[in-house]
Amino acid sequence: MHVRILTTALALSATLTAMSQHVMEVKTNKIGAPVQSTMYGIFFEDINYAADGGLYAELVMNRSFEFPNHFAGWDISGKVTLKDDGPFERNPHYVRLAPSGHSDKHTMIENHGFFGMGVKGGEEYRFSVWARVPDGGKAKLWIDLVDNATMDDDQKLGNAGVDVSGKEWKKYTAVLKPKRTFDKAHLRVWGDGKVTTDVEHISLFPVKTWKGRENGMRQDLAQALADMKPGVFRFPGGCIVEGTDLETRYQWKNSVGPVENRPLNENRWHYTFTSRYFPNYYQSYGLGFFEFFQLCEDFGCEALPVISCGLSCQFQNPDPTKPGVHVPVDQLDDYIQDALDLVEFANGDVTTKWGKVRADMGHPEPFNLKYLGVGNEQWDYDEQHGGYGPVFTERLKKFNAALRAKYPYLKLIGTTGPNSEGWDFDLLQPRMKELKVDLYDEHYYRNEQWFLSHGLRYDSYDRKGPKVFAGEYACHGRGKKWNHFETSLYEAAHMTGIERNADIVHMATYAPLFAHVEGWQWRPDAIWYDNLYSFKTVSYYVQQMFAMNKGTNVLPLTMQGKPVAGQEGQDGLFASSVFDKTTGEVIVKVVNTSKQPQSITLNLQGMKGERMAETLELWSNGKLDDENSISKPELIHPVAGSVKCEAGQKYTVLNDQLPAMSFRLYKVKKTK
C-alpha cells in the first residue's frame, strides 16, 4: 500500500493561484438520515458465465448429459451410448460405456469444461460420478485430468481409479491432484474395457471451495464478493428471472434439493446477442436458491430474491396479446403460490413443506428473508405506446395482496421498468406509489453525459412515496463499453448523490457482477476472471470504497449553499459526507470529474483543532482509458494516504488539491 502524505503546503501549491478554491461546508453536528444497512449491494445474474463456469465451482459442463445436444462439451470414443432411464427423474439421461471387443479400442468420454478446466498444481480436485454395472459384478473406471496441448511425453496431469460394483446406482468419488497448473485441462473417464458400465452426473470440483463446501463456490470469486461488504444480495437477475418464454423463466423450485435432480434450464444469454453467441450456455441450477441464501448468510447481508410475475421478457415479447406469451391475470395462482412458497422455503418452520426441504438440505434455521422483488424489467403501456394497458401493475397488485396477507412483515419491491426516465418510467413511478410497494427498482445503464448531468437525480424525489432501489446501473461509455477508469469515476460521482439521499435510496446494486473473459455477453461488469485468475475492475473498487465507508448517517455538505453535484459553477466536483457513529469518524467523499486539478477546502463545522485525515484515492494519472485486466489486475486500485487538517479559526479545516479526474475519500475522527 502506497502512502502519500499530503501536506497543507502541497495543497496550497503554486497552481492554487490559477484555480479557484472550492469551499465546502460539512456540518458534522447535524446528524442526518440513517444510511441503510442494505447499502451497498450486489446484483447477481447468470450472464457472462457468472454461475456455471464462474462462481459455481463445478468444472464439468453438461455433467448430466441433459443439454439438447446430449454430448455437448464431450468427446466420445468407442462404444458410448446415450440412455434415458437414469436414477434422476428430472435429469433422466446417462451414458453407457461398453467394451469395444478389442483391448486396444478404448471406450472413453472426455469433457472440455467451460473453456477448459482451470486446475492448480498440487491442489486437490474431487471427482464424483453416479455409476452402476448393469449386468452386475465389478468394473473399474479410470479418470484422467489431461493437458491435450502438452509437449510432455505424458498428457496426464493427474489420475485416479474408481471401483464400481453392482447393478444399483451409487455415487463414487475420487481425489485427483494435478502435477502442475493448467487453465485448459480436460477430464477423461475411461470405460472398464471388459465390463459395461453406466455413468451419470459426472462432476469435478476443487476441494478448496468457498468455506470448503462440496457443492461449492469458486473461492476467489466468493471472497471478492465478501470483500465488497455487501448490504444486500439480489438474485437470480435480471432478465433471466422472466424467461424468453414462460417455460424458461427462472423457477426457484427447480433450483433446490439434490443437485443431481435439478433440471437444466435454458440460459437466454446464450442467444440474446447473436454477435456474442454461446450455444453451450445453460443453467444447471447447481448454484440455486439454497446456495444463494447461504451466501447471504456468509456475507451477513439481506437476501433479495426476485421472482417472475407471470410476464415473460417484454423486450422479447413485444405483443402482450399474443396467446401463451404471458400468464393471464386470472390464471396467476401457481405463480403467486411459487412466491409464497419461496418465503416458506426461506423462513418456514421445518414442519412446513418447504421449510422441510430447506432443513433436509442442511439448514433447519430460517434464513430470515425480509425482501422480495416481483418482476424484473416490466412495464405498462399507455395509448401512445401499444395501448395494452397495465399489464404489469395488474399482476403486481395480485402478488402484493397475497404476499401481504400471509407475510405482512415482508418488504415488497416493484419496478419502474428498464428506463430511468421517459414515458414508461413516468407511467410506472406514480403507480408504484399507488400500489404502496416498499421500494421500486430503477435501472440505468447510461453514458458519461447522463452520469455527469444527473447528480441531483434523487434530491427532488418524493419523500412520501416508496423508497428507491437502484437495482441495475453502470456508466456505459459512449462507443467504449468496457471497465475503463473514466466511466468508473463517473459512477463514483453519481454515488455521492445516492449517498446524500440516503433517506430515499435504500438499496443500490451495480450491474452486472461477473464476467468470464472468454464467455461474456455484456460489459462492463464488476469482476472478471478466466479459468484460474480473477481481477476487480475500477467500478468494483468504487463500490467497495462506498460500501466500506458508508457510515451510519448522512451529514449535510454544501458549497455556497448547494449540494455538490457537478452543478454549474462547481467545476465538475461531486461530494457527499457521512458520520459513522460506531467509529466516530466523519467521512467525506469528493470526486473531481474535471480535466483540471481542483483545490478544495472542507470546513468541518462542529470540530476544533488539528487532525490527521486518512485518505483513500482512485486515480489513473490522467490515463482515462486504463483498466485492470488479468495481466494487470491492480493497475488501478485504491491508494491510502493522509492529509493534515488545520485548526482554523472557527473549526477544523482541510485543504487539499485533487488531481484532475480523481476520487478521494477522507476520514477524520471527530473527537481527538
Decide if 377 is catalytic: yes
Considering only the stretches 103-111, 187-195, 234-242, 639-647, report the one whose residues sit in contact with ligand AHR under the rule CB under 6 A: 234-242
Question: Nearest CA to 620 among 524, 476, 485, 526?
Answer: 485
Our finding on whether 50 is near ligand AHR (CB under 6 A) is no
Give Cα separations from 226 to 68, 232, 532, 601 (angstroms): 36, 11, 19, 35
Give Cα separations from 527 to 24, 414, 505 (angstroms): 34, 27, 24
Our finding on whether 375 is near ligand AHR (CB under 6 A) is no
Our finding on whether 373 is near ligand AHR (CB under 6 A) is no
* DSSP per position, 139-189: EEEEEEEE-TT--SS--EEEEEEEEEESSS-EEEEEEE--SS-EEEEEEEE
Give Cα separations from 102 to 78, 80, 99 (angstroms): 10, 15, 8
Quick one: 234 or 500, whose CB is closer to ligand AHR? 234
Question: Nearest CA to 255 among 344, 357, 371?
Answer: 357
Quick one: 239 or 602, whose CB is closer to ligand AHR? 239
Q: Which amino acid is at 158?
A: G
Show the beta-strand stretches assigned E in 562-661.
573-580, 585-592, 598-605, 611-619, 639-646, 652-658
Our finding on whether 512 is near ligand AHR (CB under 6 A) is yes
Q: Which of 47, 59, 199, 498 binds ligand AHR (CB under 6 A)?
A: 47
> What's the min distance (Å) between Cβ of 102 and ligand AHR?
52
> What's the min distance (Å) between Cβ of 239 and ligand AHR?
4
Quick one: 248 or 594, whose CB is closer to ligand AHR? 248
Question: Nearest CA to 610 among 7, 2, 22?
Answer: 7
> What's the min distance (Å) between Cβ of 439 and ligand AHR?
16
The neighbouring-strand residues paired with 52 are 56
Our finding on whether 239 is near ligand AHR (CB under 6 A) is yes
Q: Which amino acid is at 482?
A: W
Our finding on whether 376 is near ligand AHR (CB under 6 A) is yes
Give Cα separations from 614 to 561, 573, 598, 607, 666 (angstroms): 26, 20, 19, 16, 6
Give Cα separations from 632 to 216, 546, 552, 627 (angstroms): 28, 23, 35, 8
Cis preceding linkage at 418, omega within 30: no
Our finding on whether 54 is near ligand AHR (CB under 6 A) is no
Quick one: 206 or 418, whose CB is closer to ligand AHR? 418
426 touches 464 (CB < 8 A): no
Please state the separation of Cα 576 from the chain's center in Å. Answer: 26
Whole-angstrom Cα distance, residue 439 to residue 596? 39
188 touches 108 (CB < 8 A): yes
> What's the min distance (Å) between Cβ of 127 and ligand AHR?
34
> What's the min distance (Å) between Cβ of 21 and ligand AHR?
41
Q: What per-residue string of b and e applies to 368-391 under the rule 16 or more CB within 10 Å gives b?
A: ebbbbbbbbbbbbbeeeeeebebb
Quick one: 45 or 52, whose CB is closer to ligand AHR? 45
Q: Which of 139, 264, 511, 547 binds ligand AHR (CB under 6 A)?
A: 511
> What's the min distance (Å) between Cβ of 292 and ligand AHR?
16
Considering only the stretches 232-240, 278-286, 344-352, 541-549, report the one whose residues sit in contact with ligand AHR under the rule CB under 6 A: 232-240
> What's the min distance (Å) between Cβ of 250 and ligand AHR?
11
Task: Enumerate residues 131-190 that contact ligand AHR by CB under 6 A.
Answer: none
Considering only the stretches 20-28, 146-154, 233-241, 612-620, report the one whose residues sit in contact with ligand AHR under the rule CB under 6 A: 233-241
Our finding on whether 418 is near ligand AHR (CB under 6 A) is yes
Burial of 163 (0-12, 13-18, 19+ CB in 10 A): exposed
607 touches 28 (CB < 8 A): yes
Our finding on whether 200 is near ligand AHR (CB under 6 A) is no
45 touches 509 (CB < 8 A): no
Catalytic residue among 302, 377, 442, 472: 377
Whole-angstrom Cα distance, residue 169 to residue 162? 14
Instruction: Collect all residues with Cβ–Cβ distance below 8 Å to 264 and sequence separation of at least 6.
Output: 64, 66, 67, 91, 282, 283, 284, 285
Q: What track of x and - describes contact with ligand AHR for positions 328 through 367 (by CB under 6 A)?
A: ----------------------------------------
> What's the min distance (Å) between Cβ of 470 and ligand AHR?
13
Whole-angstrom Cα distance, residue 1 to residue 549? 18
Instruction: Collect all residues with Cβ–Cβ distance below 8 Å to 370 and sequence separation of at least 6.
Output: 302, 303, 409, 410, 411
Our finding on whether 238 is near ligand AHR (CB under 6 A) is yes
> What's the min distance (Å) between Cβ of 367 and ligand AHR?
24
Considering only the stretches 109-117, 235-243, 286-294, 363-371, report the one whose residues sit in contact with ligand AHR under the rule CB under 6 A: 235-243
Q: Which of 45, 66, 198, 291 binds ligand AHR (CB under 6 A)?
A: 45
Our finding on whether 377 is near ligand AHR (CB under 6 A) is yes
> What's the min distance (Å) between Cβ of 268 and ligand AHR?
8
Element (H or E) spanning 345, and its range? Answer: helix 333-347
> What's the min distance (Å) between Cβ of 241 and ligand AHR?
8
Our finding on whether 237 is near ligand AHR (CB under 6 A) is yes
> What's the min distance (Å) between Cβ of 38 and ligand AHR?
19
Our finding on whether 231 is near ligand AHR (CB under 6 A) is no
Quick one: 118 or 477, whose CB is closer to ligand AHR? 477
Q: Which amino acid is at 236?
A: P
Q: What track of x and - describes contact with ligand AHR for positions 273 through 312 (by CB under 6 A)?
A: ----------------------------------------
Whole-angstrom Cα distance, residue 51 to residue 58? 9
Quick one: 238 or 648, whose CB is closer to ligand AHR? 238
Our finding on whether 522 is near ligand AHR (CB under 6 A) is yes
Quick one: 127 or 451, whose CB is closer to ligand AHR? 451
> What's the min distance (Å) between Cβ of 418 and ligand AHR?
5
Max Cα-Cα span within the chain? 96
Quick one: 310 or 455, whose CB is closer to ligand AHR? 310
Quick one: 373 or 512, whose CB is closer to ligand AHR? 512
Our finding on whether 524 is near ligand AHR (CB under 6 A) is no
Task: Enumerate residues 438-457 that contact ligand AHR by CB under 6 A.
Answer: 443
Quick one: 47 or 645, whose CB is closer to ligand AHR? 47
Quick one: 94 or 529, whose CB is closer to ligand AHR? 529
Binding residues for ligand AHR, rule CB under 6 A, total: 13
Q: Which amino acid is at 74?
A: W
**Which residue lies nearest ligand AHR, judged by its C-beta?**
238
Whole-angstrom Cα distance, residue 266 to residue 62? 12
Instruction: Collect all residues with Cβ–Cβ distance below 8 Å to 199 and sequence separation of at least 6.
Output: 94, 95, 97, 109, 129, 130, 131, 141, 189
Q: Tell me which DSSP letter residue 239 carries.
A: G
Quick one: 376 or 577, whose CB is closer to ligand AHR? 376
Catalytic residues: 377
Task: List residues binding ligand AHR (CB under 6 A).
Answer: 45, 47, 237-239, 376-377, 418, 443, 472, 511-512, 522
